[in-house]
């Protein structure tokens, strides 16, 4: 299969990235960051997760943030939900697109959602039914699709079975998440061989972490299969608290630069994303693992046409 001519980058930094940090980003600052990411060309942004505010205070402002988000034509905001309480909150918030996510790993599911894998699957399918019936756009994702630090490689048959259930219950987009960063090109290829025939015409996205330094290498393997939707995070922010040594997502600006080198359209200006990334490093008083935001710090300022 030929590489796609265009790729959609789904910015997850305001959710996956901010959620992983100890410091809480003020709501107005979150809005400003999101507005600047839109100005940099990003059209799909995951802005919040509806989780317990005491357990994840970084996401406690999900409802007020969603109410004040800038409305731009063609821009889609999404939020992550893990349980029925989160779904109820999300549906009341007015957001139009949700990601309903569950883990293929039993041990990770118990840590992340407080449920066994089978319980989480049953729970997740019921949530998909409810959200689809309410007219929401639903992206269904499989965490730990390429391995679990406790259980090792997850059988492709289990992943395929979950995806088949997602399709049967009316999900609009499917996602395979390399939560632990254990993916490799052979694993990416074998999983896509198993899943793409089940997806049919439904879009398939990948959520890649760079824990072992293979994030963009795995993206290249997926590109060769025609995958054209990838989650990214400004500066390579993010991670999973239940994965020792976890690194963040593939960097938005690194990915956009790679796509530009390949002649693949994203519509994203990596220089402008880099400006936001450097400001967030200053806010958090730390460096993030992405590269291009540091490179662009020494390039002439971006001038819009």
Q: What is the DSSP letter of 294?
A: H
Residue 9 sits at φ, ψ, to 5 deg, of: -100, 125
Encoded tokens for 12: 């997850």
**Of 144, 148, 240, 261, which one is the catalytic site residue?**
240
Residue 23 sits at φ, ψ, to 5 deg, of: -70, 140
Encoded tokens for 201: 């015409």
Encoded tokens for 117: 């894998």
- 8 A C-beta contact, residue 161 and residue 117: no
148 is an active site residue: no
- 8 A C-beta contact, residue 105 and residue 148: yes
Encoded tokens for 216: 């963009």
- Strand residues in 67-168 grouped as ranges (E): 76-81, 97-103, 137-143
- 8 A C-beta contact, residue 112 and residue 83: no
By annotation, the residues acting in catalysis are 240
């Amino acid at each position: 299969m030929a590489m796609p001519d265009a790729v959609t980058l789904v910015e997850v930094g305001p959710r996956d990235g901010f959620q992983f940090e100890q410091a809480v980003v003020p709501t107005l600052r979150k809005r400003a960051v999101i507005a600047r990411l839109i100005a940099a060309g990003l059209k799909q942004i995951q802005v919040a997760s509806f989780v317990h505010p005491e357990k994840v205070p970084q996401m406690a402002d999900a409802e007020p943030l969603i109410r004040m988000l800038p409305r731009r034509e063609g821009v889609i905001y999404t939020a992550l939900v893990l349980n029925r309480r989160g779904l109820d909150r999300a549906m009341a918030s007015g957001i139009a697109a949700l990601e309903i996510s569950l883990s293929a790993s039993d041990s990770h599911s118990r840590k992340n959602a407080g449920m066994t894998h089978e319980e989480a699957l049953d729970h997740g399918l019921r949530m998909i039914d409810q959200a689809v019936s309410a007219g929401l756009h639903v992206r269904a994702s499989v965490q730990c699709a390429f391995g679990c630090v406790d259980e090792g490689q997850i059988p492709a048959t289990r992943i395929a079975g979950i995806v088949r259930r997602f399709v049967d219950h009316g999900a609009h987009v499917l996602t395979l998440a390399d939560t632990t960063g254990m993916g490799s090109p052979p694993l990416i290829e074998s999983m896509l061989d198993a899943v793409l025939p089940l997806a049919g015409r439904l879009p398939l996205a990948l959520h890649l972490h760079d824990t072992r330094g293979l994030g963009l290498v795995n993206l290249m393997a997926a590109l060769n299969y025609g995958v054209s939707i990838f989650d990214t995070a400004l500066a390579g922010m993010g991670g999973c608290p239940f994965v020792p040594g976890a690194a963040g997502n593939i960097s938005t600006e690194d990915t956009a630069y790679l796509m530009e080198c390949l002649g693949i359209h994203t519509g994203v200006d990596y220089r402008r994303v880099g400006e936001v990334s450097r400001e967030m490093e200053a806010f958090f008083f730390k460096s993030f693992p992405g590269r291009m935001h540091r490179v662009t710090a020494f390039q002439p300022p971006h001038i819009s046409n």
